[in-house]
Chain A
Amino acid sequence: MHDFVQYILSYLGSDKTPGASGNIFWATIYVLLVFVGLSIAVIAMNWLERKILAHMQIRLGPMRVGPHGLLQPIADALKLLLKEDLIPEGADKVVFWVAPFIVVLAAFTVFVVVPFGPTHAITDMNIGILFMLGVSSLSVLGIVTAGWASNSHYPLIGALRSSAQMVSYEVAMGLAVVSAIMMTSLDGNGTLSMIGIVQAQFAQREWFLFKFFPLGVIAFTIFAIAMVAETNRAPFDLPEAESELTAGFHTEYSGFRWSLFFLAEYSAMIAVSSIAVTLWLGGWLRPFPNLLSGPTWDLAFSLVPGLAFLLLGAMCFYNTARMPKHPLFKIQTIGLAAFGAVLALIGLLMFLPPVRDRVGDIFWFSAKVAGFMYLYIWYRGTFPRYRFDQLMKVGWKVLLPTGLALLILTAIWAMRTQVWADVIIPAWTGFVDLLRSVF
């Protein structure tokens, strides 16, 4: 027993991830935390998407279940679980059963390497970014098999459409990622590790978004477009263009299995956003870690997470005061006030120095990812859907050549001193010598 406690305590104060220090107990805790956090994020995202989309279209959105519809996602989840779980006649039962799990596994496994902080990752792999791209590309397999196993025409065509889109955009995505990885190798220590990439941005005192302006911005833009197509979201949501087509590969799925696809889609959105944040937006680094350094600024920025939660709590209290005074709304009003109190309490907890020091990086990472989540909803609210041939044209004829050119330019720019000394100057002197010898 004593040994076990020692084993647990030995990790505390370590400056490595639980995976890197080989501590199975804390690795399991981190896996559970990430899983729970991800599920909560998906639930919150479900509510936020409906609310924000509704407000963009000047509607109210869900208002009935709980104050401001806050309990709507839970009601939806219950409804999905209680729905009849149909397996169509003539479907390939085993493959039909396995397909949603492939998609969910692929979407959740990538979070093994997502760095929420220098120590707040399940593990740090030497091939971090490669692992993320590889495992997330496995979800295509789940989609293809789901479409095939349904033994129906609409899912099969939908699966082909969906996987063609995902496979095409993976290429452009990979090229953009390579150009960011190339930027990590400027000081001679190139790395594929997610933590290493963020540390390289800290060491080079610059987010890769602004590196080699405008090359970093272009790479980021390619990735930002490709990641929307990769996760099958608007304006590239052709796989399930609900207003135009029969929904894609999951037409025959219902109830719990369908909700697994839903869960996988949202967690894949969070995963690709985490890649973008890690590669170009400085990962867990707070704004201006080098420019505004020093204990004063550290303290000021470490107060931000607590203040953010206090602000959320204050918003809850403000809306509590605005709730209708009718007796029917009594429980909802108390519930909203309690929710606000919980948020405010979390905010106050985050002012405690030991908590403050540990959650800052997680907060900044999550805040950046949340920005991307908002962008996803914004795209859906504002952009018209692409036609399939336009989608393919953008992927293969615009993003891919741009990505290739970008890769070459980044390489040349990174090696510009060597290129100047070894190629341009010898060529010029040779040319001049040639001219001299002729005339």
Chain B
Amino acid sequence: MNPALNSAASNPPVATPFFFYGLAAVMIIGGILVITRKNAVHSAMALITTLLAQSALYLMLYAPFVAGVQIILYAGGIMVLFLFVIMLISIERQQKERQFNKQWLIGIVAAAALGGLLIAVYTTTTKGILFPPVGRESFVESQNTQGIASLLFDVHSGMYMFAFEIASLLLLVAIIGAVVMAKKRI
């Protein structure tokens, strides 16, 4: 493997558990607000808060590149489009309507199954080690971005090049499809 790949033990903790608990609390409260607010714009803003806290968690996991991309793509890109769409809906009518969701039973079962799975994975892999979660191995922070680049593009160790290109092609097709559907005359 790449020599830059380092065992997590040599990485000093990026921040104290205090920050982890704080960020996790922000994420959970934000997530709850997303589904409980009636006003869709408030939900979107709560979602932005959650995504930003998540990118801070990525920073704690020595993944600055992923954190940066999270801010640019999700918080700065996708959520702006969300807000555009939501803003142009008439909020007044939407707030008066009763919110319905007939799938609460299935929802609870799915959530319980996912939660149980997470707890099972956590208890079996960490073997009693508490927060913050310790990764198996990770790049040194200063090598992380370069490591991702060489995994994607390097001639010798770039094993995800094909997947990356296919994903780009998929997105391109989606963009062209959106343009074709949106415009009457091209």
A134 partner residues in chain B, CB cutoff 8 A:
68-69, 71-72, 75-76
B149 partner residues in chain A, CB cutoff 8 A:
190
B83 partner residues in chain A, CB cutoff 8 A:
141, 144-145, 148
A163 partner residues in chain B, CB cutoff 8 A:
80, 84
Residue B48 lies at the interface, judged by CB distance under 8 Å to chain A: yes
Asked whether A148 and B76 contact (CB < 8 A) given A127-B64, A134-B71, A141-B83, the answer is no
Asked whether A141 and B80 contact (CB < 8 A) given A95-B42, A130-B69, A148-B87, the answer is yes
The reply to whether B145 and A144 contact each other, CB–CB distance below 8 Å, is: no
**B-contact bits for A111-140, CB 8 A (1 contact / 0 none):** 000000000000001110011011101101
B77 partner residues in chain A, CB cutoff 8 A:
137
A140 partner residues in chain B, CB cutoff 8 A:
76, 80
B1-60 contacts to A (CB < 8 Å): 39, 41-42, 45, 48
The reply to whether B68 and A144 contact each other, CB–CB distance below 8 Å, is: no
Residue B142 lies at the interface, judged by CB distance under 8 Å to chain A: yes
- Of chain B, the residue at the smallest CB distance from A106 is B76
A-B contact count (CB 8 A): 68
The reply to whether B68 and A131 contact each other, CB–CB distance below 8 Å, is: yes
Asked whether A126 and B84 contact (CB < 8 A) given A92-B41, A138-B76, A141-B76, the answer is no
B81-114 contacts to A (CB < 8 Å): 83-84, 87
Count the B residues whose beta carbon is within 8 Å of the partner chain — how many?
26
Looking at chain A's contact residues, the main secondary structure is: helix
Q: Pull 25 A–B residue pairs with CB atoms less than 8 Å apart, ordered by A.
A: A92-B41, A98-B45, A126-B65, A126-B141, A126-B142, A130-B68, A130-B69, A130-B72, A131-B64, A133-B72, A134-B68, A134-B75, A137-B76, A140-B76, A140-B80, A141-B80, A144-B80, A144-B87, A145-B41, A148-B83, A156-B87, A160-B84, A163-B80, A167-B80, A190-B146
A192 partner residues in chain B, CB cutoff 8 A:
145
Q: How far is the CB of B25 from chain A (nearest CB, A)?
A: 19
From A92, A138, A167, contact of B71 by CB (8 A): A138
**B-contact bits for A149-179, CB 8 A (1 contact / 0 none):** 0000000100010010001000000000000
Q: How far is the CB of B54 from chain A (nearest CB, A)?
A: 14
Residue B79 lies at the interface, judged by CB distance under 8 Å to chain A: yes
The reply to whether A127 and B41 contact each other, CB–CB distance below 8 Å, is: no
A98 partner residues in chain B, CB cutoff 8 A:
45
A94 partner residues in chain B, CB cutoff 8 A:
42
Q: How far is the CB of A258 from chain B (nearest CB, A)?
A: 21
Q: How far is the CB of B133 from chain A (nearest CB, A)?
A: 21
CA distance A354 to B144 in the complex (A): 37
Q: How far is the CB of B89 from chain A (nearest CB, A)?
A: 11
B39 partner residues in chain A, CB cutoff 8 A:
92
Residue B61 lies at the interface, judged by CB distance under 8 Å to chain A: no
